[in-house]
Amino acid sequence: MKKMQNLTDHAVYSVGSTIGRSCYAEEGIPPANSSEEKSTSNQDAIKQVVDAVKDLVHDCNFDCNDSGIALQAMDNSHVALVSMMLKAEGFSPFRCDRNVALGINLVSLTKVLRAAQDGDVLTLKADDTPDVVNLLFESVEKDRVSEYDIKLMDIDQEHLAIPETDYSATVEMPSAEFRRICGDLNQLSESVLIEATKDGVRFSCQGEIGNGAVTIRQNTNVDKPEQNVSITLTEPVALTFSIKYLLNFCKATSLSSKVRLSLSAEVPLLVEYTLEGSGYVRFYLAPKIGEDE
């Protein structure tokens, strides 16, 4: 049985300084002496992002600055890392006067986000030195307004610098297809071997009840570009990963019709969902190595 490698075993991560203090964003243009920060967005994207990461990390900082809202956190076992960026242009409007870290329990945030109805506009507000973050949900017809405050936490969280990596293989494929493959192979095994070669990308597993494999080849469909598969390969690579973590990542499927997988030997797998130019959610997963004696 292969052992799970630890993300901190890889030199690609180095500890850096945490983001600075004090940020604010608001709907409309507040007075110059306002002490609030606020941003407004359709709540569906934020709800989907939180749902995708809440099973990996429970408490984390939402780091706000004039570029947008970022989140970076590692799971307790140090096997997976999530990095999220919601760019300022994805909100209308967005304002953040100073950097601020909003420490939030994701289970609590999920409970509040469930109060939103489909299509609601979400406004996030926080003071310069906040004790709470305010969430306001407003219906499209503006005939219903719901308002909630979530208590903030003081989270001492290291910020990891993730350098650019030249991957041996990069695969862009329909996100729904990736989720289907992970779900199907999960019925047979807890691990999946991902092999990228000139013939395509092969997902395979071995379990007590049998074996399974799915091969994806490069494909271009002019009529249905959302079904295209693109493979960039500089050298063959084969790595084994936990399907449980990959299925957690797949909760972000609704964020994007495409998912990008990037692999290299001795480097964590990168699973990336792009939010239509307004941000991204990236998951890093350490491979399994060796045999468990």
Residue 130 and residue 249 in one domain? no
> Which of 132, 157, 182 marks a domain boundary?
157
Which pLDDT score, from 0 to 100, does residue 97 have?
85
Query: Whose CA is closest to 165, among 218, 234, 217, 247?
Result: 234
Residue 184 and residue 118 in one domain? no
Peptide bond preceding 163 in cis form (omega within 30 of 0): no
For tokens 């953040």, the residue is 96
| Contact status, residue 150 vs residue 104, Cβ threshold 8 Å | yes
Phi/psi at 47 (5° precision) = -60, -40
Classify residue 29: in a domain, yes or no.
yes
Q: Each residue's pLDDT tens digit in the chain (293 positions)?
A: 566 666 655 544 433 222 222 343 333 323 333 334 555 555 667 788 888 888 888 899 999 998 999 999 899 888 999 999 999 888 878 888 888 889 999 999 999 998 888 778 888 898 877 899 999 999 888 889 999 999 999 987 777 777 788 999 999 999 999 999 999 999 999 999 999 999 999 999 999 999 999 999 999 887 888 889 999 999 999 999 999 999 999 999 988 999 999 999 989 999 999 987 689 999 999 999 865 43
> Which of 118, 139, 157 marks a domain boundary?
157
Query: Whose CA is closest to 198, among 240, 169, 229?
Result: 169
Residue 270 and residue 141 in one domain? no
Query: Whose CA is closest to 102, among 85, 75, 82, 126?
Result: 126
Residue 24 and residue 143 in one domain? yes
Tokens at 80, concatenated: 């997976």
CATH number of the domain encompassing residue 221? 3.70.10.10
Using CB atoms within 10 Å of the CB of residue 177, give its burial: 0 to 12 exposed, 13 to 18 middle, 19+ buried: middle
Q: Determine the structural domain holding residue 192 and report its residue range.
A: 162-289
Q: In the chain, how many domains are there?
A: 2
Residue 116 and residue 210 in one domain? no
Which pLDDT score, from 0 to 100, does residue 172 have?
97
> Which of 136, 157, 178 marks a domain boundary?
157
In one-letter notation, the amino acid at residue 19 is I
Using CB atoms within 10 Å of the CB of residue 273, give its burial: 0 to 12 exposed, 13 to 18 middle, 19+ buried: buried
